[in-house]
Amino acid sequence: MSSPDDDKQEQREAFRAPDPAGGPLTTDQGVIVDHTDDSLSAGERGPTLMEDFHFREKLTRFDHERIPERVVHARGAGAYGYFEPYASCAEFTRAAFLQDPSVRTPVFVRFSTVQGPKGSADTVRDVRGFATKFYTSEGNYDLVGNNFPVFFIQDGIKFPDFVHAVKPEPHNDIPTGASAHDSLWDFVSLQPETLHAIMWLMSDRAIPRSYRMMQGFGVHTFRFVNAEGKGTFVKFHWKPKLGVHSLVWDEAQECQGRDPDFNRRDLWDAIEAGEYPEWELGVQLVPEEDELSFDFDLLDATKIIPEEQVPVRPIGRMVLNRNPENFFAETEQVAFHTANVVPGIDFTNDPLLQARNFSYLDTQLIRLGGPNFAQLPVNRPVAPVRTNQRDGYHQSTVHRGTNYFPNSLGGGCPAHAGGDPEAYRHYAERVDGHKIRRRSESFKDHHSQAALFWNSMADWEKQHIVEAFRFELGKVDARTVRARTVEELAKVDGGLAAAVARGVGVPEPSGHGAVHKLASPALSLDAESLRGDGSIRTRQIAVLVSDGVDAEQVTAVREALAAEGAIVEALADTDGTVTGADGEKYAVDRALPTVASVLYDAVLIPGGPVDTAPVAADPDVMRFVRDAYRHGKPVGALGSGVRVVAALEPEGLAVSTEFHRAVSDRGVVTDTSPGAASAEFIQAFVDAVGQHRHWNRPPVRG
């Protein structure tokens, strides 16, 4: 029996363009072209001729290469992979792809930022999209989620308002990819339902280290339906195997210049290197009878169900193992739609979800230029498609036979499934009520879960949140907007509001205490469950080398770190080689001026018998180490390399130069012994890298 995964592979082969090496260049009509560098002209210096069909076709095709970018989530990166369930979920859902652990369902995932255009930088402060298309045997299922579990508004009719507010200001199209401007904060300060998601936006969750290291959430409460027609409310969670890790704001901003493609490159490189990212799919299940037993409304997408209240139950895993072959054909043309569901998965009356069920199809029609986008290879289901839908722009299927139902001329086909248990049947929810344009009372508490998020943060996370608010509001020109936002924050937490007020020069609110007591420790990046397996696989480690370096030591350390799965690069003033202490040439991977500390997860300064004073004096090296330290990254130093780190002590960097012993202090791992690195040093450095960042350091100057 072939699995949907095999079917998708086969389909892909069928849609691949002919091998460019298989013959000469042709026109779109298949006519062989002998020359494509000069247009057809009347004489050597004469005008171009209209009859040059190759010229006209080439230019026309070029002029029409762009399609409208997505109105939101324009900037993205995607990859293929597969999903497999751990066990049958038949008790809750009849969805075929959640039944059999031996069946792999192919997927395509697109990660994205929201605000910025297609060419904007990756490491902006923003929500990240996490959209998954499952090509199941029963049709395509799209789980179109984000890396935050809550959204900014409760009803989709507000979406254009919210998006207009966060997008660049209409008069000057500023800022690109950023929320730090007047209109967003004006909206936020007047629309307190945004506050919970805003807390997430101000936290480090909004600047992920890697798409491979972020959680995903379906956000809405959906409904599972089993074969007996019994419904169960469900919230979806993706948890990355590598743990959840973030950048710091200063670093994220510098990354925007040093490598605007930081996140998409990271995803691409990891998959190319065979380091396939993996997520566990978990579900929070709520029996229908418990619908009204929470102190918030399950239909309100600005609320989470704390994990402590309803645990997340792991049900399967997803692995991304193949990069697209063509960005436009696949990542750009992929069309997600929340209403793409399969039997066993259904909607709830969440008004945000209901609006999305309209908006996604509508947006694809304009973006992909017509109704036939499901025929594009990346969107094409592996399940057979038989419809009476016909014609339209870009129709690429040659239909035969009748195109209406009922018919007798076509033998009554395609026939209704009738009582076929495989057919999709909407959950028979009982609904009755008056037509009203009014928000339910149960949606009216906007502050207690914003406070829950704040209360759940570690001290260092709270500090980052305060700094983020100060940065964002500090960029807002209208003082009234700053003040009104602080007033709203005072309803979340008095201490937070006061700290923000002090930073942005508006009056501190009177109350300074906690307003709400709720907390969910599982939300902190310090939570054990978000730390991953502690492995250092795919962490980028810079080794700063120079002439006189102990090359033997470097080679051994590199091998030890590579054995743990880290990616180690030797950096020096210039590319090429340095001359080791033994007189041998040692290869350099990159020249320091082409990179920066922000592109690495950790730095190591090896030793050498020569005096390292000249290295310490190198401003590039000092900046590299200082930045790594400031950003909480592990810093390792061996032998005389310790002196480089110690040179930064006057600026506030804490370093132990204890003699001839591996010492690990707040992620600074040193050993002044000359020669080979000890096993203790390697272990301490690996542990420090495995922790990702070290927040308990004194601040450095400079």
User: Which positions are catalytic?
Assistant: 73, 146
Task: Please state the separation of Cα 603 from the chain's center in Å.
Answer: 25
How far the first Cα of the chain sits from its last, in Å, is 64
The one among 53, 360, 424, 427 contacting ligand HDD by CB under 6 A: 360
Distance (Å, whole) CA 149 – CA 60? 44
Residue 540 is a binding residue for ligand HDD (CB under 6 A): no
Cβ closest to ligand HDD, residue 133 vs residue 462:
133
Residue span binding ligand HDD (CB under 6 A) among the ranges 203-211, 354-362, 437-445, 474-482: 354-362
Q: How far is Cα 346 from Cα 234, in angstroms, rounded to an integer?
A: 10
Question: Could you give the angle at which helices 195-202 and 448-456 cross, rounded to 10 degrees?
Answer: 20
Which among 151-159, 239-247, 531-539, 564-572 is the span making contact with ligand HDD, rule CB under 6 A? 151-159
Nearest approach, Cβ of 525 to ligand HDD (angstroms)? Answer: 20
Q: Candidates 47-55, 71-79, 623-631, 655-663: pick the segment binding ligand HDD (CB under 6 A).
A: 71-79
Closest CB to ligand HDD among residues 93, 146: 146
Nearest to 315 by CA among 81, 91, 529: 91
Residue nearest to ligand HDD (CB): 129
Q: Which of the ranges 72-80, 306-314, 594-602, 664-672 carries the binding residues for ligand HDD, by CB under 6 A?
A: 72-80
Find out whether 662 and 680 touch, Cβ atoms under 8 Å: yes
What are the structure tokens assigned to 378, written together? 């990346």
**How far is it, in rounded angstroms, from Cα 30 to Cα 634?**
58
Count of residues in contact with ligand HDD, rule CB under 6 A: 26
Tell me the residue type at 38. Answer: D
The CA distance from 685 to 682, in Å, is: 5
* 363 binds ligand HDD per the rule CB under 6 A: yes
- Cβ at position 673, least distance to ligand HDD in Å: 51
Of the candidates 4, 8, 54, 70, which one interacts with ligand HDD according to CB under 6 A?
A: 70
Q: Could you give the CA distance from residue 119 to residue 115 in angstroms, rounded to a whole number?
A: 11
Interface pick for ligand HDD out of 146, 203, 455, 553 (rule CB under 6 A)? 146
Q: For ligand HDD, which is the closer residue by CB, 127 or 570?
A: 127
Site string for ligand HDD, 96-115 (x = CB under 6 A): --------------x-x---
Judged by CB under 6 A, the residue of 223, 237, 239, 356 near ligand HDD is 356
Min dist. Cβ of residue 511 to ligand HDD (A): 32
Instruction: Determine the interface stretch with ligand HDD among 68-76, 85-93, 465-473, 648-656 (rule: CB under 6 A).
Output: 68-76
Answer for which of 54, 73, 447, 694 binds ligand HDD (CB under 6 A) is: 73
When the beta carbons of 244 and 622 are compared against ligand HDD, the nearer one is 244
71: contact with ligand HDD by CB under 6 A: yes
Among 82, 83, 135, 159, binds ligand HDD (CB under 6 A): 159
The 10 Å Cβ neighbour count of residue 497 is: 26
| Using rule CB under 6 A, residue 339 touches ligand HDD | no
- C-beta neighbour count of 694 within 10 angstroms: 19
The Cβ-side half-sphere exposure at 436, using a 13 Å CA radius, reads 6
Rounded to 10 deg, the angle between the 494-504 and 459-474 helix axes is 40
Q: What letter does residue 514 receive in the DSSP assignment?
A: B
User: Helix, strand or coil for residue 498?
Assistant: helix
Half-sphere exposure in the Cβ direction for 402 (13 Å, CA): 12
Neighbours of 507 (CB within 10 A): 10
Cβ of residue 172: shortest distance to ligand HDD, in angstroms?
Answer: 23
HEC profile of 361-373: HHHHHHHCCCCCH
Handedness of CA 301, 306, 307, 311 (dihedral sign): negative
Q: Between 72 and 635, whose beta carbon lies closer to ligand HDD?
A: 72
Show Cβ contacts of residue 656 under 8 Å, excluding neighbours closer than 6 positions: 663, 665, 668, 670
Distance of CA 107 to the CA centre of its chain: 16
For 308, counting Cβ atoms within 10 Å of its Cβ (0-12 exposed, 13-18 middle, 19+ buried), the class is: exposed
Closest to ligand HDD by CB, 236 vs 586, is 236
Tell me whether residue 372 or residue 597 sits nearer to ligand HDD (CB atom).
372
596 binds ligand HDD (CB under 6 A): no
109/570 with CB nearer ligand HDD: 109
Cβ 684 vs Cβ 662: under 8 Å: yes
Q: Are 248 and 255 in contact (CB under 8 A)?
A: no
Q: Shortest distance, CB of residue 128 to ligand HDD, whole angstroms?
A: 8
State which residue, 196 or 631, has the beta carbon closest to ligand HDD.
196
Least Å distance, CB 367 to ligand HDD, is: 7
Within 216-245, the residues that bind ligand HDD by CB under 6 A are 219-220
357 binds ligand HDD (CB under 6 A): no
How many helices and strands, by DSSP H and E, does the chain display?
18, 19
79 lines the binding site for ligand HDD (CB under 6 A): no
Contact window for ligand HDD (CB under 6 A) among 142-150, 277-285, 374-382, 672-680: 142-150
Q: Does 355 bind ligand HDD (CB under 6 A)?
A: yes
**301, 312, 523, 544: which one binds ligand HDD (CB under 6 A):** 301
3-class SS at 573? coil
Token output for 461: 């996370």
Q: Which stretch binds ligand HDD (CB under 6 A): 30-38, 140-148, 579-587, 617-625?
A: 140-148
Q: Tally the residues of the chain.
A: 702
What does 203-268 look like in DSSP terms, one character per residue?
A: SGGGSBS-GGG--EE--S-EEEE-TT--EEEEEEEEEETT---B--HHHHHHHHHH-TTHHHHHHH
d(C-alpha 382, C-alpha 47), whole Å:
51
The residue behind tokens 């057919």 is 423
* Residue span binding ligand HDD (CB under 6 A) among the ranges 92-100, 139-147, 574-582, 667-675: 139-147
Cα–Cα distances in angstroms (integers) from residue 554 to residues 521, 523, 599, 607, 639, in the given order = 41, 39, 20, 8, 11
Closer to ligand HDD by CB, 214 or 334: give it. Answer: 334
Q: Is 145 in the site for ligand HDD (CB under 6 A)?
A: yes
Please tell me whether residue 336 binds ligand HDD under the rule CB under 6 A.
yes
Residue 151 within binding range of ligand HDD, rule CB under 6 A: yes
Smaller CB separation from ligand HDD, 338 or 553: 338
Going by DSSP bridges, is the β-strand pair 278-287/590-591 parallel, antiparallel, or unpaired? unpaired
Rounded to 5°, angle at Cα 317 from 6 and 150: 120
C-beta of 340 vs 597, nearer to ligand HDD:
340
Site residues (CB under 6 A) for ligand HDD, limited to 399-438: none
Q: Choose between 107 and 541: whose C-beta lies nearer to ligand HDD.
A: 107
Q: How far is the CB of 169 from ligand HDD (least distance, A)?
A: 20
Binding status of residue 144 toward ligand HDD by CB under 6 A:
yes
Q: How far is the CB of 174 from ligand HDD (least distance, A)?
A: 22
> Site residues (CB under 6 A) for ligand HDD?
70-73, 76, 110, 112, 129, 131, 144-146, 151, 156, 159, 219-220, 301, 334, 336, 352, 355-356, 359-360, 363
